[in-house]
Amino acid sequence: TLLALAVLAAASSVNAAEIYANDTTAVKLKGEVDAYLATTKSTNTAQVETKTDPDVNVWGKIQLDAETKLTDTLKA
């Protein structure tokens, strides 16, 4: 079995900005970064246990949203 232990977790940092906007169109940019410290322990069928040193894992996301008004009731 594989067991991952999160020993330290950093709070997510989320940012958003509206890049462009007028009466019919809007463009927005969002982003998020997560970081955590983890170690792994696994045991194989011969009951040999393997552990790894702590490792820093970082994950990032960038999202670009665009919206335009097609009619008074419909947006794309």
Distance CA(59)–CA(15), nearest Å, equals 15
Distance CA(31)–CA(64), nearest Å, equals 9
pLDDT score recorded for residue 12: 56
pLDDT score recorded for residue 76: 87
pLDDT score recorded for residue 1: 37
Q: Nearest 5°: phi and psi at 20? A: -150, 140
Two tokens, residue 1: 């079995």
pLDDT score recorded for residue 7: 40
pLDDT score recorded for residue 49: 80
Per-position pLDDT tens, the chain of length 76: 344 444 444 455 667 889 999 999 999 999 888 887 887 788 877 777 888 788 888 888 899 999 999 998 999 8
